[in-house]
Structure 1
Amino acid sequence: MGRNDLYITAPSIFRCPISLDVMKSPVSLCTGVTYDRASIQRWLDSGNNTCPATMQVLQSKDFVPNRNLQRLIQIWSDSVARRQLEADSAANSAVPSQDQINLLVKQLDNNNFFSSLTKIVCFARESEENREFLVRIDGFLNAVFDFMRNVGSDIKLIEQVVEILNLMSSKILEKKPLLESSSLSTILLVIQRGSLDSQIQSIGLLKSIAVDGESKLKIAEEDGVLQELVKSLSRENDPSLNEASLSCLIEITMHKRVKIKVIQSGTIPELKKHISEPNTSVSIIEKSLKLLETLLSCREGRVEIWHDSVLLQAIVQKVLKVSNKATEQAVTILWCVCCLFRDEKAQGAVGNTNSNVMTKLLLLMQSNCSAAVRKMSVDLLKIFRVNSKSCLSSYDTKTTHIMPF
């Protein structure tokens, strides 16, 4: 495919009516017309009080960020970049041979770093055998690590490095170079500014190097990492990005002070959205519940969870509705807040839910659940029986054989 074949005209809705360029930060005026922030700000700063497109006099000069349009522009931009990268890879012919790779590795210290690394990434994508071959080349990983320590601002080049490291993460025995602050800052830069695929790869790389308590804590305490991971949980983002961020947060949220920082970053409201809203994937619901369960082990997490009746009722809704794994996680959370820590407000919120928690628990006890979940269900039923004298009155004699007391 020739380079001219890749020429793509940007949709007119993505272009600013003033500059005619693709908008970087779309904002809408009170007239409903959207402009790039920099262009409309210059227009207003010049003393104009009208909408440039409609010439209507503005009742207010305030503008509102158009998040939906910004997300569409980002998706389109990533798609164009991806096609360009595929075309460049195709132009660089087929997968290099092992002899060619040896030569390319020797060239990594000169000005052809990007070109050489692009071909090496192509080689690594091809097979597990190729990745093992790369690991065995003297000096290859050291050259990549050195780049991570002394990175510039070329985001496309950084994305290539992150991809090769992500592909080879299971082969890298020495993780310490990637845990240095300079390397973590480079990975964070891709999460902040990279394409969607690169963001997912960067988050996956963080998870892969979180191999022990010390590394988990180091990643979590790197300035900006937790904030970006929590920001990636937003339902406005791609589900694959949501899932990658959840997996990474579950992996690194072990230490108490990390849990507190995760909670303070606004994680629980984002998890609540994933659990409460329809059409959320099974995997994301399971991971959201798992992270909630983790955050329950510190007081700050318990307080925020058990005082949110809407969240508690959403958790009840997931019992017997999503998967066996989600059911077990939901019951564990309910047991923790209602039985282990015995919060009366939480007990009331769960017991009064419209989803009839007692019916769910009785049905669950008849299913092929684990012994631990069955025991937690019994404990919960005892709590709700004490709190509501009439809660079992609707069960006839046909169901009494499954009652635990």
Structure 2
Amino acid sequence: MPLYQPSNGRKNGGAKLDAGGGAEVLDLETAVKGGVLGGGEAIIGGGCIADKLDLKVLIEELESIDVPSVFICPISLEPMQEAVTLCTGQTYDRSNILKWFSLGHNTCPTTMQELWDDSVTPNKTLNQLIYSWFYQKYLAMKKKFEDVQGRALELLDTLKKVKGQARVQALKDLRQVVSAHASTRKTVTENGGLSLISSLLGPFTSHAVGSEAIGILVNLDLSSELRANLINPAKISLTVDIMNEGTIQTKLNCAKLIGMLLMEGNDSETEIFSSLSLLVGLLRLVRDKRHPTAVVFAGLILLKTICSQESVRSSILRIRAVPQLIELLPCLNNECSEIVLYILEVLSTIPEGRLALKECPNSIPNVVKLLMRVSENSTQFALTILWAIYKLAPEECASQAVEAGLAPKLLLVIQSGCNPVLKQMSAELLKLCSVNYSTSILISKCMLTTTIQ
């Protein structure tokens, strides 16, 4: 269990406790005399509460709640399940203080006073108060849980009856409930919410309805049956249109939904994702400089997933993705740069991809700049891309690469602690580049000192 944080302004001795929910703040003595922190469930003879639940269960259910400091054991910094008091007047959880004694200590852990009496006395008042406080919090949480469950069911029922702006509002309310309360997601799923919301997506769905429906779906676990329902040209086309024109959050939701659908798709389903509208939309998404990094990253991740399917790579090349991604490289952070290099490496595995890389004037300069600058994986992707271009036009590639500063970068790879395979690739590429240059010129390009020359 994580450490509990004592509530602010609550200290041992004359401590004040907040009953929660706007209740009056009481001191310890008043709280005990009044029952349970100023009202609510009363303590019944001997501290028992009707239908009493185990305190350990209550604590586990409320593990993230802010607990008053007087309930926290000074040893474990967790709520006390059985408070006991030492002769020094300090209170601890029984299991923790007994463990302290078993280690050979004969002192009070808080004051470090030597104990003149090693007996421990149950603190019945505090135990009753701890249980009552947690019990009330549990009841409040349970009521809130039931309220949001009921609200989710109410909104699902409303969606079956309304249209127009009322439907948009109901979807927005349901999206907020599902986003804020994980417990409602199961309720929505078990009560036909997935199929209902999916049925709202179609060729004539407004973007207002579609964006809210997609915002709900990305928070839910999609069944294989629902995936089959969502993967059809009309719904994918709608999602792409909404992604192109929606808000930042809507763009993220659309990219996430398409990624969820594609993640488990088979080859026949993948053809749907090779639509030019989707690919163009993704490139537009990642190239728009107004978008924050999170949106660019989501778009690149989806493009990476799509290009892993061989049948889609030709479509990606047809929309001139290579020059667009090459021009994008200098503007990206390291994480996004690595994804773009991966995509370009994948595209270089087919002849059209290698030709597109060769014909793009900035392919070699922009790729060379990233050698040894991002990660070892990125360096491997970059070397593979350069090799692919070199094989198409050795002399032209060697000249451009050396002028772009490839030689010193290759020497860095060779001298680094990189993978031996990368070192070998670098050594061979450096050797091939040197064919077009005299030793003195190549060395000067490497910017080595006169002594080394």
* TM bucket normalised to smaller: 0.5 to 0.7
> Unaligned 5+ residue runs, structure 1?
1-92, 401-405
Give, in whole Å, the separation in 2 of the partners of 1:301 and 1:140: 44
Matched with 2:415 is: 366
Trace 1:162-181 onto structure 2 (pairs within 5 A).
162-168=214-220, 170-174=221-225, 175-181=227-233
> Does structure 1 residue 353 correspond to structure 2 residue 407?
no
Give, as a single letter, the amino acid of the residue that structure 2 aligns with 1:258. V
| Residue-by-residue CA offset, 1:146-194 (whole Å, 9 max, x unaligned) | 11136422x22211101111222x5544411111122212212212322
Indicate the percent of aligned positions where both proteins have the same amino acid: 20
Q: Are the counterparts in 2 of residues 95 and 123 from structure 1 also a CA contact under 8 Å?
A: no
Out of 229, 234, 239, the position equivalent to 2:287 is 234
User: Partner residue of 2:370?
Assistant: 318
Q: In the comparison of the two structures, how many residue pairs are matched?
A: 300
Structure 2 partner of 1:76: none
Letter in 1 for 2:156: V
- Report what 1:286 is aligned to: 338
Aligned counterparts, 1:111-190, within 5 A:
111=162, 112-135=166-189, 137-149=190-202, 151-153=204-206, 155-168=207-220, 170-174=221-225, 175-190=227-242
Match of 2:201, SS?
helix
Structure of greater Rg: 2
2:219 is aligned with what amino acid?
Answer: L
Give the one of 93, 102, 105 matched to 2:156: 105
Distance 2:176 2:364 in 1: 47
Q: Secondary structure at the match of 2:286?
A: coil
- Name the residue aligned to 1:343: 393
Secondary structure at 2:403's aligned position in 1? coil
Amino acid at match of 1:381: L
Aligned-pair distance for 1:203?
1.6
TM-score (structure 2 length as normaliser): 0.59
CA RMSD of aligned residues (A): 2.9
Aligned CA distance change for structure 1 residues 223 and 109 (closer, same or farther; 3 Å): farther
Unaligned regions of 5+ residues in structure 2, if any? 1-143
Determine whether 1:199 maps to 2:251: yes
Is the 8 Å Cα contact of residues 148 and 183 (structure 1) preserved in structure 2?
Answer: yes
Match of 1:41?
A: none
Closer, same or farther in 2 for the Cα pair 1:96/1:327, shift >3 Å? farther
The whole-number CA distance in structure 2 between the counterparts of 1:362 and 1:263 is 33
Q: Check the 8 A contact 1:230/1:266 in 2, yes or no.
A: no
Contact 2:307 2:346 in 1 (8 A): yes
Change (3 A) 1:103 1:385: same
1:81-112 deviation per Cα after TM superposition (whole angstroms, max 9, x unaligned)? xxxxxxxxxxxx99961122123223221104
C-alpha deviation, 1:213, in angstroms: 4.0
Deviations 1:310-367 (A, max 9, x none): 22111101112233333232122123322xx353155324432242x12211211232
Aligned to 1:297: 349
CA contact (8 A) 1:118 1:160 kept: yes
Partner of 1:250: 304
Distance 2:276 2:146 in 1: 38
What is the letter of the counterpart of residue 425 of structure 2? M
AA in 2 matched with 1:98:
Q
Tell me the amino acid that sits aligned with residue 359 of structure 1: P
Partner residue in 2 for 1:225: 278
| 2:17 matched residue in structure 1 | none
